[in-house]
Amino acid sequence: MLNRQGRESAPTGTSRPAAAGMPGHRGLQLEEPLSFEQGQAGRSGVDLPPLPVGEDCLGGLARQGEIGLPGLSEPQTVRHFVRLSRQNYAIDMGAYPLGSCTMKHNPRLNEKLARLPGFADLHPLQPLSTVQGALELIDRLAHWLKILTNMPAVAMSPAAGAHGELCGLMTIRAALAAAGDARQRVLVPESAHGTNPATAAICGYQVESIPAGPDGRIELAALTARLGPDVAALMLTNPNTCGLFENEILAVAEAVHAAGAYFYCDGANFNAIVGRVRPGDLGIDAMHINLHKTFSTPHGGGGPGAGPVVLSERLAPFAPLPYVVHGPQGFRLVEQAGEPGHAPIGRMKSFHGQMGMFVRALAYMMSHGADGLAQAAGDAVLGANYLLARLSDVMSASFPGPCMHEALFDDRFLKDTGVTTLDFAKALIDAGYHPMTMYFPLVVHGALLFEPTESESRESLDELIATLRRLAAAAQAGAVEDFRAAPRYAPRRRLDETMAARKPVLRWRPAQGGTAK
Amino acid sequence: MRYLPLTLDDRQVMLAAIGAADLDALYRDVPASARLKAPVDLPMHAGEMAVEREIGALAAKNRAAGQGPFFLGAGAYRHHIPAAVDHLIQRSEFLTSYTPYQPEIAQGTLQYLFEFQSQVALITGMEVANASLYDGATACAEAVLMALRVTRRKRAILSGGLHPHYRETVATALSFMAEEALLLPADASGAEDLLSRIDPETACVVVQNPTLFGHIADLSSLAQACHDKGALLIVAVSEVVSLGAVRPPGAMGADIVVAEGQSIGLPLSFGGPYLGLFATREKFLRQMPGRLCGQTLDEDGRRGFVLTLSAREQHIRREKATSNICTNCGLCALAFCIHLTLLGEAGFTHLARLNHRLAAQAAARLGALPGVRLLNSGFFNEFTLALPVPAAPLVEALAAQGVLAGVPLSRLYPDDAALANLLLVAVTETNSSEDIDRLAAAIAGGL
């Protein structure tokens, strides 16, 4: 048959020789069926006490028929999820230079502390006298965030970055409405995360995109031309998604304020400047902080996050419920509107915020301290600049340095090689890495965005650099087929995303009959 | 500093390779006036022992639920979590990976999301489910926004049995979209008339089942009434274990089911992180918010999974996206998925019935106390007691005796005097009969 891999003896491909054991197993790489495909009725992984004698009071609405859940014992369940886990790449395995995502080390102390019964086994509606330590922790984290940003207030409840953006824009809209000002437009640079325009739209605004200047930054003239009495806010990411600090930010803030608008900062990249630069000194009115980026709460395969929003004096009265205040009898939680001087926008979610993430973030902050946070930011910036300097001769840097915490390249260095950014990413998988962010930001062609973070040693950075140089040389030497065939050594080869979208199969269904009730 | 691998020597070598004199030179794009010259006014770095001591002292100031009889619910429930759950979610490959953007090296995450979506669809009785949202309240707000998109109408009717945090989250979201949320008064009796309020302007009716007050209702005729007028029925479930014993919303005609998934696999954690479940009919698939995982094949024809239908999402659609959500609650979805896998059909249904029987015993016992009245006829594991005295001071007094008796409704509705004497009591498999004895004695003694 056609040798599509370009390697004669690779044990991959449709003609893979059958292993002696279960189909698909290859040494330590074990295939794992769905839990639904291995269950037996009546088997369970938990032992529960027998039902007490008595009558049901379900109002005649007891569930009828089978649900269709599989039955697995505890050892089967443990093995199932351990096998699944081994099909993932993770920070704990190696460098994960996924730009814009900040895949830094997740200290295990933080996990331990979040699991203390005094936090983990605490109900959000217990009498306040029984949760004073929890309120104090929220208050202390808020204090650290306010000092680090030099902002007077912080809304703690948003559950993630995008949720924080929404909270920030809502406070802006509420502040404008309170002043009788019904502005309709929000300006968003085209380099922004997709969440920015999506958030502005959900907040009821028309979104206007501002093109990036030739140096990858916002152009003051282009901004000023669009500012006017109908603009409610500018949403600007700083450092921006090209990994650059917006060097005209003070003038940007002044122009935005002169037009009567608010300055929202997407704080996703706060990790580049924490402890060194305070957003409050840059004229910012509101900024969310991704605790799962800057302050290392684990990404967990995509959440949970936490996205507190720091607010300026003018926006603080509109912060959402609930919030912690100091009272004569200790800490108090304000859960209803009606406090003097406060006009909350409402509520962002159930209860009081992502407490489990708060504990982890505070533990991280205290471990680093004021000195360590600044050093961590510095090391992250140093690592990214090291990558930029050591790769600029073989890969095409989009903008000259210095960069901040991430280094942006585009696909000019792949021109005429037949290799795309996607192919390059997949080849990086075969080389043992999680790829960089690809095709984002949208302002450069075929973007490759590397964020090594402060967690990588120099040896690790040198290895990554050597790998990237080797791949760039291979692309230029015409090894296009190798790139197109990658990845070969991952648990799966390239997956057919078109098929997934055309005929969506989003859940398991039994082979025949037995539909769920 | 234990988390930072670079040595002073490394930094010098790297700066030399870059051609920068010092770190500050790399920050030259920052206006000089904004560059700090000294550390901010916060403590300096600290070792593990010191951090553990200080944060441990804060934890010790709280009264953990497990320290005595405990009966709080109202949207967050204390259930037993098998040890394997917390062990497995702390595997590095799950804990320290990102959203599965490179599916070839994220099949572990993707497969459990597929299994999770399957579990959620099955227990809610719906056709499709997404890969999770932040929590029950935000899922509820997303459901209402979806109903507005689907129906192109502007009014949402929110039942008085819906948890006030869900109501407020929805109302907050709608207030910024010039859409209308009609919030019905708190419905302690479960006798609210929703049917007569549905009109041709109604996009959706949102009810909770069991309600905040614990009532279970047959929603079939409400679903029919919604459909007759072209509106959608959204059902919120704040205690997801109930779905193991109570007829699921999908079997009663719901168009969207949202739920708080905390009860399966997640600790109380003072209110978060929790897990938003979202399920709907297949015909609304492309209007759904949030991440979706789908099955496909790889180049060798092997089954694999990818994130799919991302043309709905913010990173592709930007301001035209169905939602601004990016992060879901991956690790919480994993905890849910593992716990429900351990339970299986037999364990899940037994757990639900166990909760119900224990609650039924407690309700009969407490409802028979002098001056106390049980408001519910049909309920799952939570019920409302009408006391002869205001509930909040009693709860506070019992807390001082080591019994956390429940949630006084005044905590959620402080301005509604009619609810001042109502106490919401939740009973789960974690409550022993001795706990219930102590609660009954404590309430009787406190009246």
Domains identified in chain B and CATH numbers: 69-81+345-446 (3.90.1150.10), 83-339 (3.40.640.10)
Q: Which one, of B287, B263, B226, B233, lies nearest residue B352 by Cα?
A: B263
Please name the member of A301, A306, A386 whose beta carbon is closest to the beta carbon of B14. Answer: A386
When the pLDDT of each residue in chain A is averaged and rounded to a whole number, the result is 94
Please name the member of B64, B178, B216 whose beta carbon is closest to the beta carbon of A59. Answer: B216
Q: Where in chain A is the domain with CATH 3.40.640.10?
A: 110-365
Q: Which one, of A56, A115, A101, lies nearest residue A380 by Cα?
A: A101
Q: Give per-residue pLDDT as tens, B153-202.
A: 999 999 999 999 999 999 999 998 878 899 999 999 999 999 999 999 99
At residue A470, does pLDDT exceed 80?
yes
Which CATH class for the A369-502 domain? alpha beta
Query: Considering only residues 362 to 381 of chain A, which have any Cβ-Cβ distance to chain B shorter than 8 Å?
Result: 362-363, 365-372, 374-376, 378-379, 381
In this structure, how many other beta carbons lie within 10 angstroms of the beta carbon of residue B297? 15
Please name the member of B58, B244, B300 whose beta carbon is closest to the beta carbon of A133. Answer: B58
Top residue of A2, A58, A209, A437 to mutate, by most chain B CBs within 10 Å, is: A58
pLDDT value, residue B319: 81
At residue B51, does pLDDT exceed 90?
yes
At residue A513, does pLDDT exceed 90?
no
Q: Distance from B109 to chain A by nearest Cα, in Å?
A: 6
- Per-residue pLDDT, averaged over B112-116, amounts to 98
Q: Give per-residue pLDDT as tens, B377-420.
A: 999 999 999 999 999 999 999 999 999 999 999 999 999 999 99
DSSP H or E segment with residue B88: helix B83-89
Inter-CA distances, A351 with A121, A332, B258, Å: 15, 14, 17
pLDDT value, residue A128: 96
How long is chain A?
A: 517
At residue A236, does pLDDT exceed 50?
yes
At residue A81, does pLDDT exceed 90?
yes
Please name the member of A92, A376, A487 whose beta carbon is closest to the beta carbon of B4. Answer: A376
Inter-CA distances, B34 with A149, A282, B388, Å: 11, 7, 62
Q: Please judge whether A493 and B299 are an interchain contact, meaning their C-beta atoms are less than 8 angstroms apart.
A: yes
Nearest residue in A to B124, CA atom: A517
Measured between CB atoms, does A515 come within 8 Å of chain B? no
Please name the member of B40, B64, B379 whose beta carbon is closest to the beta carbon of A148. Answer: B40
CB A96 within 8 A of CB A383: no
pLDDT value, residue B314: 81
CATH topology of domain A110-365: Aspartate Aminotransferase; domain 2 (3.40.640)
Three-class HEC string of B144-160: HHHHHHHHCCCEEEECC
Q: Please judge whether A46 and B90 are an interchain contact, meaning their C-beta atoms are less than 8 angstroms apart.
A: no
B357 neighbourhood in chain A, CB within 8 Å: 51-52, 54, 56
At residue A514, does pLDDT exceed 80?
no
Q: Give per-residue pLDDT as tens, A330-343.
A: 999 999 999 999 99
pLDDT value, residue A14: 47
Top residue of B319, B336, B395, B434 to mutate, by most chain A CBs within 10 Å, is: B319
Q: Give per-residue pLDDT as tens, A3-31.
A: 455 444 444 444 445 455 557 888 888 99
Nearest residue in B to A402, CA atom: B26
CB A59 within 8 A of CB A395: no
pLDDT value, residue A516: 39
B136 neighbourhood in chain A, CB within 8 Å: 350
Q: Where in chain A is the domain with CATH 3.90.1150.10?
A: 369-502
pLDDT value, residue B336: 98
Q: Which residues pair with B376 in a beta bridge?
A: none
DSSP string, A97-112: -BTTT------HHHHH
pLDDT value, residue A13: 45
B1 neighbourhood in chain A, CB within 8 Å: 368, 372, 375-376
Q: Give per-residue pLDDT as tens, B427-438.
A: 999 999 999 999
Q: How big, in percent rounded to 5, are the helix, strand and coil portions of chain A?
A: 35, 10, 50
* Band (B316; pLDDT cuts 50, 70, 90): confident
- Per-residue pLDDT, averaged over A291-310, amounts to 96
Q: Give per-residue pLDDT as tens, B82-98.
A: 999 999 999 999 999 99
Chain A to chain B Cβ contacts (< 8 Å): 739
Q: Which two tokens stand for residue A502?
A: 């055309």
pLDDT value, residue A12: 47
Please name the member of A120, A129, A306 whose beta carbon is closest to the beta carbon of B399. Answer: A129
Top residue of B318, B322, B356, B381 to mutate, by most chain A CBs within 10 Å, is: B318
Cis peptide before B393 (omega within 30 of 0): no
CB B199 within 8 A of CB B243: no
Q: What is the ipTM of this complex?
A: 0.98
- Per-residue pLDDT, averaged over B230-258, amounts to 98
Query: Considering only residues 154 to 183 of chain A, which have any Cβ-Cβ distance to chain B shorter than 8 Å?
Result: 159-163, 165-166, 170, 173
- Per-residue pLDDT, averaged over B311-326, amounts to 81
Nearest residue in B to A24, CA atom: B302
Q: What DSSP character marks residue B181?
A: E
**Phi, psi angles (nearest 5°) of residue A331:** -85, 145
Measured distance CA(A54)–CA(B427) in Å, rounded? 15
* Band (B8; pLDDT cuts 50, 70, 90): very high
Q: Tell me if residue A29 falls in helix, strand or coil.
A: strand
Q: Give per-residue pLDDT as tens, A111-159.
A: 999 999 999 999 999 999 999 999 999 999 999 999 999 999 999 999 9
The proportion of chain A whose per-residue pLDDT surpasses 70, expressed as a percent, equals 95
The answer to whether the Cα torsion of A339, A340, A342, A345 is positive or negative is positive
The answer to whether the Cα torsion of B18, B21, B24, B27 is positive or negative is negative
Q: Please judge whether B95 and A359 are an interchain contact, meaning their C-beta atoms are less than 8 angstroms apart.
A: no
Tell me whether strands A448-450 and A407-410 are parallel, antiparallel or unpaired. antiparallel
Measured between CB atoms, does A123 come within 8 Å of chain B? yes
pLDDT value, residue A2: 55
Inter-CA distances, B442 with B318, B369, B402, Å: 56, 11, 10
Please name the member of B94, B176, B268 whose beta carbon is closest to the beta carbon of A123. Answer: B268
